[in-house]
């Protein structure tokens, strides 16, 4: 134990960097797991087909037009608070929020939940995961 304390005091910057990296890794793991509110593309497909889930794509319109999940509604993240009524008409149905990688949609899920919309799910991995699983994408 004495050697550990001596090492830490001699290499405080190195030890501080280690602590910061470990905290960031844990934070990233906790944020990406998402628990119940995060679904993989395979589960999202089941929800769309069996539970009439509504897909809300929060990417910018240009990205949406380059390819999106069939039947998705585009409401960019910047306009979500102002257009929450557009999603509210689907209240009671599962809402799956999607972005490019799953980070922005996670924040958008919180905005929808604060607006009283439930149940809301984040598409884990976003459109990147959807496309890597070979699932259909529409450009219409």
Domain count, the chain: 2
Question: Is 87 domain-assigned?
Answer: yes
Indicate whether 72 and 128 sit together in one domain.
yes
Question: Is 29 domain-assigned?
Answer: yes
Owner of token pair 């090492």: 7
pLDDT confidence band for 25 (50 / 70 / 90): confident
Query: Which domain, by its residues, includes 8?
Result: 2-33
What integer pLDDT is reported at residue 30 of this predicted model? 66
Indicate whether 24 and 8 sit together in one domain.
yes
pLDDT confidence band for 32 (50 / 70 / 90): low
Indicate whether 48 and 22 sit together in one domain.
no
Could you tell me the sign of the dihedral formed by the alpha carbons of 82, 87, 92, 98, in that order?
A: negative
What integer pLDDT is reported at residue 75 of this predicted model? 96
**CATH number of the domain within which 102 lies:** 3.40.250.10
Active site residues: 99
Nearest CA to 136 out of 77, 62, 48 is that of: 48
For 3, 12, 43, the CA distances from 117, given in Å and listed in that order, are 55, 47, 20
User: 105, 26 in Cβ contact below 8 A?
Assistant: no
Maximum distance among all Cα pairs of the chain, rounded to whole angstroms: 67
Indicate whether 85 and 116 sit together in one domain.
yes
pLDDT confidence band for 31 (50 / 70 / 90): low
Question: Is 139 domain-assigned?
Answer: no
What integer pLDDT is reported at residue 135 of this predicted model? 94
pLDDT confidence band for 36 (50 / 70 / 90): low
- The model's pLDDT over 103-128, given as tens digits with 9 standing for 90+, comes to 899 889 999 999 999 999 999 999 99
Q: Check whether 33 has a pLDDT greater than 70.
A: no
Indicate whether 17 and 40 sit together in one domain.
no
State how far the Cα of 53 lies from the Cα of 62, in Å rounded to an integer: 24
- Letter string b/e over residues 102-123, b meaning 16 or more CB atoms within 10 A of that residue's CB: bebbbebbebbeebebebbbbb
What integer pLDDT is reported at residue 4 of this predicted model? 87
State how far the Cα of 135 lies from the Cα of 115, in Å rounded to an integer: 30
Indicate whether 43 and 20 sit together in one domain.
no
Indicate whether 15 and 68 sit together in one domain.
no
**Rg (alpha carbons) of the chain, rounded to whole number:** 20
- The model's pLDDT over 43-100, given as tens digits with 9 standing for 90+, comes to 999 999 999 999 999 999 999 999 999 999 999 999 999 999 999 999 889 999 999 9
């Amino acid at each position: 134990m004495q050697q550990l304390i001596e090492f830490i005091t001699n290499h405080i910057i190195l030890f501080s960097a280690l602590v910061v990296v470990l905290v960031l890794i844990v934070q990233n793991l906790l944020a990406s797991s998402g628990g119940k509110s995060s679904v993989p593309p395979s589960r999202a497909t089941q929800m769309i087909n069996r539970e009439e889930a509504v897909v809300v794509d929060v990417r910018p319109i240009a990205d949406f037009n380059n390819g999106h999940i069939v039947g998705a509604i585009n409401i960019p993240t910047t306009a979500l608070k102002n257009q929450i009524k557009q999603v509210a008409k689907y209240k009671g149905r599962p809402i799956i929020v999607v972005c490019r990688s799953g980070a922005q949609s996670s924040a958008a899920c919180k905005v929808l939940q604060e607006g009283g919309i439930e149940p809301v799910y984040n598409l884990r991995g976003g459109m990147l995961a959807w496309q890597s699983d070979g699932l259909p994408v529409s450009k219409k």
